[in-house]
């Protein structure tokens, strides 16, 4: 629980949920804080004092007697018998358990191993035995005192004992006095009836007090036995329930076996159809975009298609099945060959039935053309990496509580974190990662129906979150002021650049353009730590313009929350509402809701939305999950609009990166001389972390941060203000500050080149 007195706000982090309370008056705020603190203190004391009562409230908690030296003793015929009631936890034996259900056996075994309640019961009974020994001695003393002083007959108020625990009756004339009891009465005591009456009353009171302790201990023992009885009843009930469904389970197993056989048969048929399908005659024209610093027209190369087979099914934009091909992956999948490569005319006319041989010859032919400078002078890359140089480090030995305990409720963007918690990407590259499924924008630029265009824009907005599903365990590097990043993807047909335009508050801006669309955004991030979870609050808008139709779509981001920061497995959640508007037309509007997990809904990562016309009538309904896909329509006839691609092999060892993310920080030798020195690929701490050198990464991270602090102090002392190099601040239609491109990046890259442009020293 964190409170802000000035704002009268209370933030509660229950690990599963985060609650933000805003109180109107100061009196009510003080009352809320007081009650919440009392409740938390009460629950903590209750759990510490009696953990079992937190789950079972059969009886109210009662105080138990302290352990005595005779705690492990019992009274049998007036003699002390040690260890007569010790409890031994039974070990689970598979032979003794019913063989009807494996689940039932495991639950019973777990119940048998859980001996906490029975240990408590044994301890209470031991204390009870100790008190019974004291009661026996007190009773003997009372009887002796009664006989010697002619007190009223004590037999009427004597508590009956069982046969095994009744003491020997002692009289003044009885020769069978117990040897364990030493009782001597002074002569003066025999003659003072008032003093003897007082002693007799004290013995009675002591007898009653110990009897009350015995009653309390027996009640506690009964409580423990009742709890175990309830557990046993639950186990028996579940086993009986499983027995009743054994026949149904057998039928289900048989149906499952038949379904698996049918599935295997269908897979074999599909494989045969795939192998017999002829795709050699199909030729695709690949548009190779020249680099921005080179003039010239686009070059068209005809390549035979090689179908990409994935483990997951490919879902199309329409209800009919469509197949997607990646012309560049044909080149990537081709291995080197010693055979002579034929020219374009030969491989078009002499088509071989062996597709792999054709692809090899084509790849060799294209590679030779690239080396000879016949294409775009090296701008068309013939391969990208498929994994990182080193796996992610082990972070289990990092004590986050020592780092974060003094920052509850604060913005973590100003807190320096260990480099082991980072991933080898920064926020500027994360903005580029949102362009992974830019083909949705290409498809939207070719769709005439405005409602269907809005559906595709909504799918693109959702697709930007899918890469975060396996990334909750690490955080990106914070860009330093003036840091940049560029990405040119010939295979996707876009070029992208971004810049850190402000440090306090941290603001990142980016711009991406293609022949089909223009995309830009500026985002300010606020990271709030609430004790067990961390909320990431984005402030800013995303914009997409489709030149063909003159549309300009604007939408916002939702809140991101990372749970189990300090313990357990971290998991990420996105929740909030997204409103997508076309600022150039009011024909339709889209509203998406990222559903927050709650107690009544077990589904996670759900997205629901609608596309409405001007009158508010629903035209399309959208549903799905942001990490699995988005569908349009009503199940089961809904069509899939978007689905993420499969992850690379051993992705969990490489920060959970997608294939697109793995390629973002790759530094190509040809590209190295064209990038500005402020590009994120040159950042040393990020590069060392990617290579697995943690010591060097930590040292460089500290050096880069200290260099940034020195630059900030210098600018403050000299009243200097940082001016972004590639973006400018404007006021949008909503009177909000926004950062847009000043259209100088690609011009400077082309002429005179970044090597001849003054750039700040960032690392």
Residue 50: predicted pLDDT: 58
pLDDT at residue 83 greater than cutoff 80? no
Q: Please give the average per-residue pLDDT across 646-651, as a whole number.
A: 90
pLDDT at residue 714 greater than cutoff 60? yes
CA-based nearest residue to 280, from 357, 215, 219, 332: 357
| Window from 219-228, 259-268, 674-683 with minimum mean pLDDT | 219-228
Residue 61 to residues 129, 218, 229, 538: CA-CA distances in angstroms? 21, 13, 19, 49
Q: Please give the average per-residue pLDDT across 648-664, as a whole number.
A: 92
Residue 273: predicted pLDDT: 82
Q: Please give the average per-residue pLDDT across 435-443, as a whole number.
A: 95
pLDDT at residue 590 greater than cutoff 70? yes
| Helices (runs of H) and strands (runs of E) counted in the chain | 18, 24
Q: Which residues of 119-128 are buried (b: 16+ CB within 10 A; e: fewer)?
A: ebbbbbbbbb
pLDDT at residue 266 greater than cutoff 50? yes
Residue 402: predicted pLDDT: 72
Q: Which residues of 576-610 are buried (b: 16+ CB within 10 A; e: fewer)?
A: bebebbbeeeeebbbbbbbbbbeeeeeeebbbebb
Residue 713: predicted pLDDT: 92
> pLDDT band at 330, cuts 50/70/90?
very low
Residue 198: predicted pLDDT: 76
Residue 678: predicted pLDDT: 94
Q: Please give the average per-residue pLDDT across 419-424, as a whole number.
A: 90
Q: Please give the average per-residue pLDDT across 478-487, as a whole number.
A: 94
CA-based nearest residue to 748, from 728, 722, 724, 726: 726
Residue 384: predicted pLDDT: 86
pLDDT at residue 354 greater than cutoff 90? no
Residue 270: predicted pLDDT: 82
> Cα–chain-centroid distance for residue 275?
41
Q: Please give the average per-residue pLDDT across 287-295, as a whole number.
A: 45
Q: Please give the average per-residue pLDDT across 288-298, as a whole number.
A: 45
The mean pLDDT value of the chain amounts to 74
Instruction: Say if strands 494-502 and 507-514 run parallel, antiparallel, or are unpaired.
Output: antiparallel
Residue 345: predicted pLDDT: 36
> pLDDT band at 531, cuts 50/70/90?
confident
């Amino acid at each position: 629980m964190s409170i802000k007195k000035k704002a009268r706000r209370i933030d509660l982090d229950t690990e599963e949920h985060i609650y933000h309370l805003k109180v109107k008056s100061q009196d009510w705020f003080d009352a809320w804080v007081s009650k919440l603190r009392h409740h938390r203190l009460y629950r903590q004391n209750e759990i510490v004092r009696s953990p079992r009562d937190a789950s079972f409230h059969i009886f109210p908690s009662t105080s138990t007697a302290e352990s005595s030296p005779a705690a492990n003793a019992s009274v049998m015929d007036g003699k002390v018998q040690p260890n007569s009631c010790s409890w031994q936890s039974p070990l689970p034996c598979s032979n003794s358990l019913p063989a009807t259900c494996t689940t039932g056996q495991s639950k019973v075994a777990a119940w048998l191993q859980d001996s906490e309640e029975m240990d408590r019961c044994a301890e209470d009974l031991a204390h009870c035995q100790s008190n019974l020994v004291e009661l026996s001695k007190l009773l003997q003393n009372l009887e002796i005192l009664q006989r010697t002083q002619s007190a009223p007959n004590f037999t009427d108020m004597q508590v009956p004992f069982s046969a095994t625990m009744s003491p020997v009756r002692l009289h003044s004339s009885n020769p069978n006095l117990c040897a364990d009891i030493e009782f001597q009465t002074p002569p003066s005591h025999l003659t003072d009836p008032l003093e003897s009456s007082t002693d007799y009353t004290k013995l009675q009171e002591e007898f009653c007090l110990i009897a009350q302790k015995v009653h309390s201990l027996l009640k506690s023992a009964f409580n423990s036995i009742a709890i175990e009885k309830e557990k046993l009843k639950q186990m028996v009930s579940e086993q009986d329930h499983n027995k009743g469904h054994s026949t149904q389970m057998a039928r289900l197993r048989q149906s499952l076996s038949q379904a698996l056989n049918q599935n295997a048969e269908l897979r074999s048929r599909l494989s045969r159809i795939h192998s017999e399908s002829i795709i050699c005659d199909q030729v695709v024209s690949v548009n190779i975009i020249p680099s921005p610093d080179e003039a010239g027209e686009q070059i068209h190369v005809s390549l035979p298609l090689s179908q990409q087979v994935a483990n997951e099914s490919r879902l199309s934009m329409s209800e009919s099945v469509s197949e997607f091909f990646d012309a560049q992956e044909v080149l990537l999948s081709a291995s080197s060959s010693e055979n002579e490569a034929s020219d374009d005319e030969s491989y078009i006319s002499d088509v071989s039935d062996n597709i792999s041989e054709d692809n090899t010859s084509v790849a060799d032919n294209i590679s030779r053309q690239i080396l000879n400078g016949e294409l775009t002078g090296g701008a068309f890359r013939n391969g990208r990496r498929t994994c990182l140089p080193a796996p992610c480090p082990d972070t289990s030995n990092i004590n986050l509580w020592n780092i974060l305990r003094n920052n509850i409720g604060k913005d973590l963007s100003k807190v320096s974190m260990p480099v082991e918690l980072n991933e080898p990407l920064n926020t500027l590259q994360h903005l580029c990662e949102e362009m992974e499924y830019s083909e949705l924008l290409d498809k939207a630029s070719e769709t005439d129906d405005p409602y269907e265009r809005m559906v595709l824009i909504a799918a693109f907005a959702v697709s930007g979150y899918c890469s975060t599903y396996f990334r909750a365990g690490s955080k990106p590097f914070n860009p330093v002021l003036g840091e940049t990043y560029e990405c040119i993807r010939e295979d996707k047909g876009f070029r992208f650049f971004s810049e850190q335009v402000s440090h306090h508050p941290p603001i990142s801006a980016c711009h991406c353009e293609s022949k089909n669309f223009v995309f830009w955004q500026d985002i300010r991030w606020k990271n709030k730590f609430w004790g067990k979870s961390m909320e990431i609050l984005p402030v800013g808008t995303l914009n997409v313009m489709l030149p063909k139709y003159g549309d300009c779509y604007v939408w916002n981001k939702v809140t991101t929350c990372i749970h189990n920061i300090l313990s357990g497995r971290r998991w990420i959640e996105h929740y909030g509402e997204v409103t997508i508007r076309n600022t150039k037309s009011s024909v339709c509007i889209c509203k998406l809701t990222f559903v927050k997990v709650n107690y009544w809904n077990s589904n996670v990562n759900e997205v629901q939305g609608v596309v409405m016309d001007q009158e508010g009538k629903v035209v399309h309904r959208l549903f799905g999950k942001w990490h699995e896909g988005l569908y349009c329509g009503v199940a089961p006839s809904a069509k899939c609009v978007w689905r993420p691609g499969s992850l690379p092999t051993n992705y969990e060892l490489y920060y959970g990166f997608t294939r697109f993310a793995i390629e973002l920080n790759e530094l190509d030798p040809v590209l190295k001389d064209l990038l500005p020195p402020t590009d994120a690929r040159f950042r040393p701490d990020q590069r060392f972390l990617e290579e697995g050198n943690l010591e060097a990464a930590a040292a460089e991270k500290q050096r880069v941060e200290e260099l940034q602090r020195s630059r900030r102090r210098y600018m403050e002392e000299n009243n200097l203000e940082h001016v972004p190099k590639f973006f400018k601040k404007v006021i949008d239609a909503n009177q909000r500050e926004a950062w847009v491109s000043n259209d100088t990046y690609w011009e400077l890259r082309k002429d005179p080149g970044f090597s001849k442009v003054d750039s700040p020293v960032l690392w």
